[in-house]
Structure 1
Amino acid sequence: MNATTFAPQEVLKQLEWRYATKEFDSSKKIPEDVWKVLEQSLVLSPSSFGLQPWKFFVVGNPEIRQQLVEHSWGQKQVVDASHLIVLAIKEGVNEKDVDTYLSRMSEVRNIPVDKLEGLANMVKGFLDQPSDVFDKDAWSAKQVYIALGFFMFTAAMLEVDTCAMEGIDPTKYDEVLGLKDKGYRTAVVCTAGYRLPSDKYANMAKVRFKTEEVVEYID
Structure 2
Amino acid sequence: MGSTIDNQAMHQALQTAFEFRHATKVFDDTKKVADADFNRILEAARLSPSSFGMEPWNLLVVQSPEKRELFREFSWGANGAFNGSKGQLGTASHFVIFLAHTDVNMRHNSEYLQNHMKNVKQLPSEVIDFMNTAYQKFQEHDFGIEGRRQITDWSAKQAYIALGNMMTSAALLGIDSCPIEGFELDKATDVLKTHFGIDTERYVPCVMAAFGYRLEDPSRDKTRRTLEQMVTWF
After TM superposition, the score normalised by the length of structure 1 is: 0.87
Q: Find the aligned partners of 1:35 and 1:137 in 2 and give their Cα distance.
A: 27
Cα deviation 1:45-85 (Å, max 9, x = unaligned): 11100011111111111101012121211331012101111
Name the counterpart of 2:207.
Answer: 188
Name the counterpart of 1:14.
Answer: 17
Name the counterpart of 1:171.
Answer: 186
Shift of 1:113: 2.5
In the alignment, residue 62 of structure 2 is paired with which amino acid? V
Identity %: 31
Secondary structure at the aligned position of 2:24 is classed as coil
After TM superposition, the score normalised by the length of structure 2 is: 0.81
1:33 equivalenced with 2:36 (yes/no) = yes
Name the counterpart of 2:93.
Answer: 82
Structure 1 stretches of 5 or more lacking a match? none
Name the counterpart of 2:226.
Answer: 210
RMSD over aligned Cα atoms: 2.2
Q: Find the aligned partners of 2:135 and 2:93 in 1 and give their Cα distance.
A: 38
Q: Find the aligned partners of 1:38 and 1:83 in 2 and give their Cα distance.
A: 11
Q: Find the aligned partners of 1:56 and 1:182 in 2 and give their Cα distance.
A: 16
Name the counterpart of 1:44.
Answer: 47
4+ aligned runs moved over 6 Å, structure 1: none
Alignment of 1:98-117 (within 5 A): 98-105=113-120, 107=122, 111-117=123-129
Alignment of 1:123-202 (within 5 A): 123-128=135-140, 131=146, 135-178=150-193, 179-181=198-200, 183-197=202-216, 199=217, 201=218
Structure 2 stretches of 5 or more lacking a match? 81-86
Q: Find the aligned partners of 1:190 and 1:150 in 2 and give their Cα distance.
A: 12
Stretch deviating more after TM superposition (176-185 or 57-66): 176-185
Shift of 1:119: 1.8
In the alignment, residue 170 of structure 1 is paired with which amino acid? L
Cα deviation 1:139-171 (Å, max 9, x = unaligned): 111111111111111111111100001111122
